[in-house]
Structure formats: C-alpha cells, structure tokens
C-alpha cells in the first residue's frame, strides 16, 4: 500500500514544523511547500494557521491558497484546517471590530470568545457527535487549545439536508460558552485545537485523518 502524501501549506502562518513532524510520525509522506501543483497533487492538504484572521487570509491569498483549497474540495480532495486554518473556512471573522471575509466553505462568523479568561489556553475536553471518524475512541480525551476567537454557532448543523448529502459533523467544546472545536464535512475537516500539540490523542486523530487519504 502506498504511503499517503500530505502537503502542509507554507504561506507564512502556523506551526508548520511541528505539523510536519506529527504527520510524519503517523505514517504520511510530508512536504512543506507553497507550490500549487504539489498542493493539488497530494493526497491530503493541511492548512495551518496562527495569528489574526485577516492576516491569515491575506497570506493564503498571496500564495493562491484560497484557490487551491476551493479546487481540491470541488474535486473531493481532502483538506484539513488547524486553528486559524479552521477559522478562515467560515464566511467571516471579526477581530477588534474589523470584519474580514473568509473562504466561506461554511456560513458563520468567527468572533471573540465570551469568557472570563481569554485566550483559552490549555487542555480541554470536546463533545464529538455520533459517527465521527476523527474522534472514534477519543471522546474522553483532552486536546490542546490556544485561541481567543472561535465560531460559536454552526448554522448548517441545524439543517436537515434532503438527498444523499450528509450534514457536517460538528464537535463542540466549552470555554465561557460553547464553540466549534472541530468539523467533519466530506473531504473538508478542521480542528480549532492543535492536534500536533495534543500528545497521544492528537497523534491518533491525525492518524485517523491520514488513514482516510488512502
């Protein structure tokens, strides 16, 4: 069986080296690059992200990462977003009163957490839905979060889609109020937490994602 290939998109934002190491440990052949042909050809594309929503979007557009993500998903090619790499998949982000357009793969707004202590930094449990592939056997584990903003609603989860298209599977967590911790939506998956920094549980989640690429 061929080893799954993964490109970690290198656009200037994210803990890219730790992501490369984590994916390599779970059996993927990993390349860190902004090359569009490589990003399109890989079995999986990982989109990291650290920093402000608007800056991450500008970095993605500068290397045409927005186009690569869109084209991959249109062809059913897997994409995994992490932290702000997940947030930019929503329609918009609002930070310090400034609104920025996201990739709009999902409707919804990313805004500041309503909590006594922000940022949310540390290990937290999550609430995965029935049928989750990424969290199979991991429902009681903790994952490592570092963020001040999140999507606190997920409109599509309340819809009952007709026909064969399944609704997204949404995993929730709490810090002050509930927020989206992860989404599994056909070829598109994302986590608000950092699986590459989440010890054995994070490694198992990445291994499950890599296993879906073959």
Catalytic residue numbers, as ranges: 83, 194, 196
CA 159 from centroid of its chain's CA atoms: 21
Distance CA 210, CA 214 (A): 8
Residue position matching structure tokens 């290990």:
123
Token pair belonging to 211: 């296993």
Q: Which of 138, 123, 151 is nearest to 208 (CA)?
A: 138
Residue 104: burial class (beta carbons within 10 Å; 0-12, 13-18, 19+): middle
Contacts of 6 (CB under 8 A, 6+ apart): 23, 28, 29, 30, 31, 42, 43, 44, 45, 46, 210, 213
């Amino acid at each position: 069986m061929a080893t799954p290939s993964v490109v970690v998109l290198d656009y200037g934002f994210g803990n890219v080296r730790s992501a490369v190491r984590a994916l390599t440990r779970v059996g993927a052949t990993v390349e860190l690059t902004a090359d569009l042909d490589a990003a399109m050809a890989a079995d999986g594309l990982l989109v990291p992200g650290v920093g402000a929503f608007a800056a991450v979007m500008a970095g993605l557009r500068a290397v045409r990462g927005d186009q690569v993500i869109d084209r991959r998903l249109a062809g059913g090619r897997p994409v995994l977003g992490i932290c702000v790499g997940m947030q930019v998949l929503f329609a918009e982000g609002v930070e310090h009163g400034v609104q920025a357009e996201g990739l709009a793969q999902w409707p919804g707004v990313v805004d500041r957490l309503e909590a006594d202590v922000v940022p949310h930094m540390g290990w937290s449990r999550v609430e995965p839905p029935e049928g989750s592939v990424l969290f199979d056997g991991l429902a009681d584990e903790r994952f490592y979060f570092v963020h001040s903003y999140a999507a606190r609603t997920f409109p599509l989860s309340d819809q009952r889609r007709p026909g064969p298209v399944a609704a997204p599977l949404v995993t929730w967590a709490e810090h002050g109020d509930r927020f989206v911790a992860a989404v599994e939506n056909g070829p598109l998956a994302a986590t608000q937490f950092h699986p590459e920094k989440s010890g054995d549980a994070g490694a198992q989640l990445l291994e499950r994602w890599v296993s879906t690429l073959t």
